[in-house]
Amino acid sequence: MQMTQEVPASYRNTALRPRGIGLITEAAREIWSRRRLVGYLVRADIKKKGADTLLGNLWWLVDPLLQMLVYLILVSVIFARPQPDYGLFIFAAILPWKWFTSSVNDAITSVTGQERLIKQIAFPKIILPTASVGTGIINFSFGLIVLGALLVLVFSHRISVFLVWIPVIAAVQLVFTIAVAYVLSGVNVFFRDVGNISRHLLRLWFYLSPALYGAATVEKLAEQYPSVGALAKLNPFYILFTAYRDVIYGPEVAAAGSTGPVPPDVAALAALGGVSLLLMLVAVWFFKRLEPAFAKVL
Amino acid sequence: MSIETPPAAPGPIELSADRLSADRPPPENPAAPHAIDVQGLGVRYNLRLTRKNTLRTTFINAFRRKEGDRTFWALKDVTFKLVHGESLAVIGPNGAGKSTLLQALAGIITPSAGTIDVRGHMSSLLTLGAGFDQELSGRDNILLAGAFMGIEHAEMTRRLNSIIDFADIGEFIDAPIKTYSSGMRARLGFSIATSVDPDILLLDEVLATGDQVFRAKSKARVLELARGAKAIVLVTHDMGWVTEFCNRAMLLEKGQVVAEGSPEEIVGIHQEHSERTKAEQAAKLAAKAPGTG
C-alpha cells in the first residue's frame, strides 16, 4: 500500500483538496517546485524596470540616494534639525522602508496584473506575490551597496562590527513583508480599492514611524501620553527602524562618552520575528483560501 | 509513451499529485484506462464577486443580501468519462458552459460541486499568447510561458529552437514583444502552446490564427497533436471538425448535458435545437414588431 508515492505526477483529482495546515504545506511545495518561475519573474521585473531609462538599473542605486537628499534638505533646511550625520540617520530608515513599500506595492497588483494568464493556465498563484517580494530583495541589496558606499566615503567614523546584524533585522522584515504582501495581493483581486488606499496608508505609516525622527521622539511622546506611546512601540517599523538605526547609526541620543552604533534590541526583534512568522502562516493560508476564486473573479 | 512514465514537467498538475496520498485510498490501478472522469461537476459563479468590485458596491450589496439570484451555475451536474483513444467534441450554443468546462478540466477553475479525476499529462491550447510580457523578448517570453505551464527548464530550452522555427519570426525573436505585429504574436503563442506532447489535449477553437499560410500550417499541427494524444476534448462551433475528428460528442445547453452520443447524432440534435431557437427568436421578433410599428 505504499504505491501512493508512485502515482505519476500528472494525476489529479479535484476531490482531494487540502485544508487548514495542508494549504500552507501545499503553498510551500508550490513555491519550491516553481522556484525557477519566481526567478524568471524577478529577472523579468528587473529587466523591465531598467528598460527605457538612460541610467537603466543604476536607478536602483540613485533612487534611495535622491530620496535621502530630498528628506535631508526638507528636514535640515526647513526645520533646521540639529542631528549629527542626519543623512545617515534617515538613510538607515529610508532604505528598509523603500524595500517594504516597493515589495508591497508590486505585490498588490501582482495577481490582478496577470489576469489573462490566470484565466488560461493553471499555476499556483502564490508565485506572483512571491516574485514581487523577490524583486524587493534585489532592490534592497542594491540599496545596501549604496549604504556601504555612504559609510565608507562619508560616514566612516560610524562603521562598526554591529553592521553584521543587518541580515538578521532584514530577515525579520522579510517575513513581515511577505505576510503583508500575500494578504493585500489576494484582497486586491476582490477589491481594487486596496491599491488606492494602500498608497496613502503606507505614507501615513511612514510618517508615524520613527524614520525622519528618532526613537527619542517616541519616548517623549510616551512620557506625555503613555497609551499612545505604547501603541507607537507596537508598530513593527518602530522596532525595525530602531534596530537598523542602532546598528548603522547609533542611538538618536548618544550615551555620554560614546557615539556610534550599538547592538539592537534583540528581545524586541525576536518578538517581532515570532509574530511575523505567525502572521505569514496566516497570510499564506488566507491567500490559498482565496486562490480558487481568482480565475472566476478576475 | 505510457501514462505511467512520470512526465518531466513540475507542473500545476504535478503539484496536486501529493493530494492523492495518505488519508485517501490510493487508486486501485493507476493505469486504469480512463483519462478523464468527471462526476457531477458543477461550477458556480458568484455574480456579486464577479463584477469588478469596489468597497462601495460591496457595502451596498451587503445591505441587500440576496444570495439566491446572485449566484449562477455555469455548469451543473456534468458527468462523463473519457477513456483512452476517445476524442470528445463539446458543442452547444454560446454561453452553454463549454469554455467553463474546459477551464475546469484544465484545473484553472475549481469545481463548486462534483469531482474531476484526470489521469495523464494534460495540455490545453487555451493559452494562445496569454500573458506575454510586452517588455521581454520573444525568447524570454517562451521560457517564461514554459515556466508558467510548469515545463522543466531543460525541456523548454530543448524545445526553444523548434518553437522559434515554427513561429517563423526570424530576427525578431530577440526583440521585445511590444514590437511584434499581432500576427507574429499569435504565431508565437500558437507555437508555444502546441510545442507540448500531452496525453490529454484540450482544444478550444484556436485554429483561426495568423494568415492563410500559417493557418494551414497550424491546422496540420493540431491534427498531428491530436493524433498523438490519448484523449481529446474539443470545443468548437465548426461541425465539420466534430464529425471529422471526434468519435464522441456531447451537447451542452445552459450548463447541462442535454445529449451525448455519436458525433453525427449529436450534431443533428444541436442543429435541430438551434433551428428551433432561431425560429423562436424570429417569432418573438415578429410578435414584437407590430406593437412597435
Cell numbers placing A171: 530577515
From first to last of the 293 residues of chain B, give the pLDDT tens digit.
344 444 444 433 333 333 333 343 444 444 557 889 999 999 988 776 665 555 666 666 555 555 445 778 889 999 999 988 888 999 988 888 888 899 899 888 889 999 999 888 887 776 566 668 888 889 988 988 888 888 888 888 899 999 999 888 888 899 988 898 888 888 888 888 888 778 888 888 655 566 778 778 877 888 888 888 888 898 888 888 788 878 899 999 999 999 999 999 999 999 998 899 889 888 888 887 665 54
Q: Is A168 exposed, middle or buried (0-12, 13-18, 19+ CB in 10 A)?
A: middle
Q: Bin A250: left if φ > 0, else alpha if -120 < ψ < 50, else beta.
A: left
Write out chain A residues lying below 8 Å of B7, CB-based: 8-10
- Only one residue has cell 447524432, namely B265
Q: Bin A170: left if φ > 0, else alpha if -120 < ψ < 50, else beta.
A: alpha
Closest approach of B252 to chain A, Cα-based (Å) = 20
- According to the model, what pLDDT value does residue B5 have? 43
Q: How do beta strands B256-261 and B248-253 pair? A: antiparallel
User: How many Å apart are CA B133 and CA A48, to the nearest integer?
Assistant: 10
Which ipTM was obtained for this model? Answer: 0.77
User: How many Å apart are CA A183 and CA A191, to the nearest integer?
Assistant: 12
User: How many Å apart are CA A272 and CA A217, to the nearest integer?
Assistant: 21
User: How many Å apart are CA A128 and CA A57, to the nearest integer?
Assistant: 22
The CA dihedral of B216, B245, B41, B61, to the nearest 10 degrees, is: 30
Q: Which of A109, A113, A128 is nearest to A199 (CA)?
A: A109
Contact A124, A141 (CB under 8 A): no
Is there a contact between B103 and A116 if contact means CB atoms under 8 Å apart? Answer: no
Angle between helix axes A166-190 and A266-297 (nearest 10 degrees) is 30
Write out chain B residues lying below 8 Å of A34, CB-based: 10, 147, 150
Q: Bin A85: left if φ > 0, else alpha if -120 < ψ < 50, else beta.
A: left
Cell numbers placing A50: 531598467
Closest approach of B233 to chain A, Cα-based (Å) = 16
Closest approach of A88 to chain B, Cα-based (Å) = 36
Angle between helix axes A127-153 and A166-190 (nearest 10 degrees) is 140
User: How many Å apart are CA A82 and CA B22, to the nearest integer?
Assistant: 65
Superfamily of domain B138-229: P-loop containing nucleotide triphosphate hydrolases (3.40.50.300)
- According to the model, what pLDDT value does residue B206 have? 57
- Please give the model's pTM, rounded to 2 decimal places: 0.84
Write out chain A residues lying below 8 Å of B110, CB-based: 14, 17, 292
**How crowded is residue B63: how many other Cβ atoms within 10 Å of its Cβ?**
7
Residue type, B120: G
In A, minimum Cα distance to B133 occurs at: A44
Write out chain A residues lying below 8 Å of B54, CB-based: 191-193
What separation in angstroms does the CA of A179 have from each of A236, A273, A286, A290? 12, 12, 10, 15
Segment A35-53, tens digit of pLDDT: 989 998 998 888 887 766 7
- According to the model, what pLDDT value does residue A242 have? 93
Is there a contact between B199 and A10 if contact means CB atoms under 8 Å apart? Answer: yes
Is there a contact between B21 and A5 if contact means CB atoms under 8 Å apart? Answer: yes
Contact A143, A218 (CB under 8 A): no
Backbone φ, ψ for residue A225 (5° rounding) = -125, 95
Cell numbers placing B209: 490564427
Rounded percentage of chain A residues whose pLDDT exceeds 90:
47
Contact A15, A276 (CB under 8 A): no
Q: Which of A106, A30, A47 is nearest to B133 (CA)?
A: A47
Q: Which of A14, A35, A42, A190 to mutate to test the interface with B (most CBs of B within 10 A)?
A: A14
What separation in angstroms does the CA of B178 have from each of A196, B137, B182, B188? 28, 9, 10, 13
SS3 A163: helix
Q: Which of B127, B144, B180 is nearest to A44 (CA)?
A: B144
- According to the model, what pLDDT value does residue B14 have? 36
**How crowded is residue A271: how many other Cβ atoms within 10 Å of its Cβ?**
13
Segment A115-153, tens digit of pLDDT: 888 888 889 999 999 999 999 999 899 899 999 999 999
Listed ranges A45-54, A141-150, A205-214, A275-284; the one with the highest mean pLDDT: A275-284
SS3 B2: coil
Segment A2-19, tens digit of pLDDT: 333 334 446 777 777 788
Q: Which of A106, A109, A160 is nearest to A135 (CA)?
A: A106
Is there a contact between B10 and A34 if contact means CB atoms under 8 Å apart? Answer: yes
Q: Which of A5, A52, A121, A197 to mutate to test the interface with B (most CBs of B within 10 A)?
A: A121
Q: Is A83 exposed, middle or buried (0-12, 13-18, 19+ CB in 10 A)?
A: middle
Distance of CA A72 to the CA centre of its chain: 23
Is there a contact between A12 and B121 if contact means CB atoms under 8 Å apart? Answer: no
Is there a contact between A11 and B140 if contact means CB atoms under 8 Å apart? Answer: no
- Only one residue has cell 545617515, namely A88
Q: Which of A190, A295, A296 is nearest to B55 (CA)?
A: A190
User: How many Å apart are CA A257 and CA A271, to the nearest integer?
Assistant: 31
- Over 70: is that where the pLDDT of A154 sits? yes
- According to the model, what pLDDT value does residue B57 have? 63
